[in-house]
Structure 1
């Protein structure tokens, strides 16, 4: 099925994806990544994120014993930026952005990825995510929780950690999801992502793992080779709205999914992931559904990655294997 070049429509962002499955066997003489070492100490005295160590900005970490959150010493967003100067209004536009950036150290241990953490510690991390959304959402319209895992995805420190960027503006990707979910709701009277989950459960081709409250699947319109869309099965707006049972099941499913990722190429699997929930303001967001995206770069082995270049940058994104093929490989691990 779908073993021919075709385009797939992304209902969530109103974009098209070119799928060229016949390209998976092409010869490769391009860049080959080094396999990262998986040997790290429990504590690294030179790590900026380990308990008790001094950070690059000069501050010192407390001797934390669980998840630890602090304001980024080199924040890309600040609460009170200076006002911009005057520019011509028609062709050039600018808008000041207020915000803040935080770092989340998942664990005091330097040697553990999220997959390797005990499920109880992942569950506590889910609580911290929800608390941060609740706190920052009182002041900022958008709160982006994300993790860059591995040097391939730009992580500058191997200590298990993520980030939170909060801003008073709605960024591009959430804005597209806002428009599409709202339009679908107005046209159909139902939720885009809830309807999509029901369809995926019926077809079963792209579902990777699921439990009582959550489902993880390779979306029909996926761009990255082993991309995952993670969703609760009931209508949920934001992380703080999750019940205790849903938080338990989320921790279990993430550990199972990340284990599959690491086993795919028998190597620590790099990815960028992040949560998208309803914006935090007084508008009606009944059309929104909480979800997380996982974007992993590895294509055919631990050393060959997917590049977004050439046609992808100048025309539209393209993928080299179908979502069904990717889901099958992950599911069967």
Structure 2
């Protein structure tokens, strides 16, 4: 078991044997976990991996997920703290950050799927967290990433958050997930191939050079601090897309220094609040951490977070049409420089 740098970790198990971990501020009293009284049967996930012979992509079939909980009313939320009449995945009256094995996992056997609850407050969003609360989530991400990377059945660790029904969220409680893939996802394979080509030609890291070019050019930068820069990428695919890069090349979240974790929490909250200020309500988004692979080509990776929204106007959604879905060729209605300027003005 890891010892998080800036948090107190408490491990326990749910009634069906799944792991549950609480993360509390380091200066809080020791947590005594309460028992999960639900008496759940042992999970029996049905997961099958197949490789597409045309592309080499691995496709996961997880048929048990078709019965997972779907948009329950707030008083029946399985991610809230347990209350009389509503025993939940977190068998305690309150919590700060909680991580548990997904009851309906996308991966099982090889790989692992976890749920990360950012707060016990059902009505909050990550945007509403204080910097200290956001910082505690970073500690949980770092701790879980390090532990999952050590598993022999894991090739890639992917912490992420989906927010908003438009994205496909099935539980409205503020939470994210961590997928520990037993293979390299297609996007990472593509990025690594480009990074390998760049390394051979330029002799330098592709991601570091992209960051340096954005910081030098300047027009697409949204915000920055001593250790991080947030910018709209030059060839953004999505209507609203911002990447957050640390100023030094790192493999994973666990490699961030204390100051870098502090600065990330500050900048990330800043960017999320700009997102919500764009149209005056909560913008649906996907927040996707990109770490280096666990074993292969680690030197080519560069830790960063990609934040994107499918909303192209206050009342319009960017749906993947024929070109995007059929050919993977994106056609955008928004220009990166214009999006960057708008997001800068939102925060001014």
TM-score by length of 2: 0.74
| Residue correspondence of structure 1 range 159-198 to structure 2 within 5 A | 159-198=173-212
Equivalent of 1:321 in 306, 318, 334: 334
Asked whether 1:293 is paired with 2:306, we answer: yes
| Residue correspondence of structure 1 range 84-163 to structure 2 within 5 A | 98-139=110-151, 140-163=154-177
CA contact (8 A) 1:273 1:293 kept: yes
Cα shift at 1:195: 1.1
Quick one: distance in 1 between partners of 2:290 and 2:317? 25
Cα shift at 1:59: 5.2
CA distances 1:215-235 after superposition (whole Å, capped 9, x unpaired): 111101111111111110111
Cα shift at 1:56: 10
Asked whether 1:49 is paired with 2:79, we answer: yes
Which residue in the other structure is 1:307 paired with?
A: 319
More strand by share: 2
CA distances 1:101-130 after superposition (whole Å, capped 9, x unpaired): 110000011111111011101001001101
Which residue in the other structure is 1:63 paired with?
A: 93
Quick one: distance in 2 between partners of 1:55 and 1:227? 41
Can you give the 5+ residue segments of structure 1 that lack an aligned partner in the other structure? 1-42, 80-97
Cα shift at 1:144: 1.0
Quick one: distance in 2 between partners of 1:165 and 1:154? 17
- Alpha-carbon RMSD: 2.0
Match of 2:302, SS state, is coil
Cα shift at 1:312: 2.1
CA contact (8 A) 1:119 1:255 kept: yes
CA contact (8 A) 1:53 1:60 kept: no
Cα shift at 1:64: 4.0
CA gap of 1:106–1:189, structure 2 versus 1, over 3 A, is same
CA contact (8 A) 1:49 1:61 kept: no
Quick one: distance in 2 between partners of 1:264 and 1:318? 22
Can you give the 5+ residue segments of structure 2 that lack an aligned partner in the other structure? 1-72
Quick one: distance in 2 between partners of 1:287 and 1:310? 33
CA contact (8 A) 1:148 1:155 kept: yes
Match of 1:325, SS state, is helix
Quick one: distance in 2 between partners of 1:293 and 1:235? 16
Cα shift at 1:57: 11
Equivalent of 2:217 in 172, 181, 203: 203
CA gap of 1:64–1:175, structure 2 versus 1, over 3 A, is farther
Equivalent of 2:245 in 212, 228, 231: 231
**What is the aligned residue count?**
271
TM-score by length of 1: 0.78
Which residue in the other structure is 2:277 paired with?
A: 263
Quick one: distance in 2 between partners of 1:288 and 1:313? 27
Structure showing greater relative contact order (alpha-carbon pairs closer than 8 Å, 6 or more residues apart): 1
CA contact (8 A) 1:54 1:61 kept: no
Which residue in the other structure is 1:75 paired with?
A: 105
Of stretches 186-195 and 60-69 in structure 1, the one that deviates more from structure 2 is 60-69
Quick one: distance in 2 between partners of 1:250 and 1:332? 21
CA contact (8 A) 1:65 1:108 kept: yes
